[in-house]
Amino acid sequence: MRLIVMGQQAFGKDALAKILEAGKDEVVAVYCAPDKEGKPVDPLKEFALEQGLPVFQPANFKDEAVLEQLRAHDADLMVMAYVIIFVPEAARDIPKLGSICFHPSILPLHRGPSAVNWPIIWGSTKSGFSWFYPTDGLDEGDLLLTWECEIGPDDTVIDLYFKKIYPAGVDSVLEVCDLFRSGNPPRMPQDESKATYESWCRKKDAEINWQKPAAEVYNLIRGTNPAPGAWTTWNGEQVQIYDSRRAEGEGSPGEVVSVSEDGVTVQAAGGRILVKRVRPQGAGKIQAAEWAAQAGIAAGAKLGA
């Protein structure tokens, strides 16, 4: 098949590399987001140029000249790997077989841009990814295939995405191409009764409320590690919390129970959090014990508002 690969960043690059390595299909064009001043070159763009592939970076896919260029590729399928820009139907339907898009959740759950963060924050025990036929609605199209994995009780975003979803998702791009090459790719409607949508997980969503159950606090820390980073305050300054563990014990929420080489243990409702790695305001990430020594934090100190 003649393919257009559209995407961004490392996932887009690795999906393209997987297709080229397999050698079954011809990549006739690569599309990625426009360059941003002062930002590094997109890895997908850099890799595609190294491979001698034509790269296009339109700012608006509604532009007739952009649509005409898409038609000129005479593509069979557009593979959309990690795409966060809107691509309208007029562009998506140009390839003979249309377009297929990757999303890092089991659709219809967790439609939206932070689909890896929210299931961890909510305490879910499974996640995965979907390849779907994109529509003008956000992540609402029929499904081609889904893949499921466990969210471990201590998994962070790093564990779930980079160790589970990412590698399996990159490998799956070959299955996607094979399904279309077969001439009868599956098409399964999403169950709208189970649909959820969450917007970006931003800093305002990552503030720790130590009055909440320890399980919820722990899930928030895991679900925002490494970004946007759960945070609390000490002496009016913010400190972001990354690596942590659950601990048992009762006490006053927000109170530092103990400081040791292992970290800083903080009380939440019905349990405790052993904070192991932090980023103090205006500084880099350090071990929590080092931060406590620098900030003068000892048992009895109170974190949060």
Beta carbons of 242 and 266 less than 8 angstroms apart: no
Q: What is the distance between the alpha carbons of residues 267 and 246, in angstroms, rounded to a whole number?
A: 10
Residues contacting residue 2 through CB under 8 Å, at least 6 positions apart: 25, 26, 28, 73, 74, 75, 76, 77
Give the model's pLDDT for residue 289: 97
Give the model's pLDDT for residue 177: 97
Give the model's pLDDT for residue 84: 83
Residues contacting residue 162 through CB under 8 Å, at least 6 positions apart: none
CA distances (Å), 50 to each of 3, 13, 115, in order? 18, 11, 31
Q: What is the distance between the alpha carbons of residues 151 and 68, in angstroms, rounded to a whole number?
A: 44
Give the model's pLDDT for residue 187: 97
Q: What is the distance between the alpha carbons of residues 296 and 184, in angstroms, rounded to a whole number?
A: 65
Q: What is the distance between the alpha carbons of residues 170 and 263, in angstroms, rounded to a whole number?
A: 36
What single-letter DSSP state applies at residue 299?
A: T
For residue 134, cis peptide bond before it (omega within 30 degrees of 0): no
Beta carbons of 57 and 32 less than 8 angstroms apart: yes
- Say which amino acid occupies 48: A
Beta carbons of 299 and 249 less than 8 angstroms apart: no
Q: What is the distance between the alpha carbons of residues 149 and 126, in angstroms, rounded to a whole number?
A: 6
Q: What is the distance between the alpha carbons of residues 5 and 284, in angstroms, rounded to a whole number?
A: 37
CA distances (Å), 244 to each of 12, 128, 232, 253, in order? 31, 24, 14, 17
Q: What is the distance between the alpha carbons of residues 205 and 188, in angstroms, rounded to a whole number?
A: 33
pTM score, whole prediction: 0.94
For residue 150, the cross-strand partners are: 126
Q: What is the distance between the alpha carbons of residues 129 and 141, in angstroms, rounded to a whole number?
A: 14
Residues of the chain with pLDDT under 50: none
Give the model's pLDDT for residue 85: 86
pLDDT digits (tens, 9 = 90+) for 206-254: 999 999 999 999 999 999 999 999 999 999 999 999 999 999 999 999 9
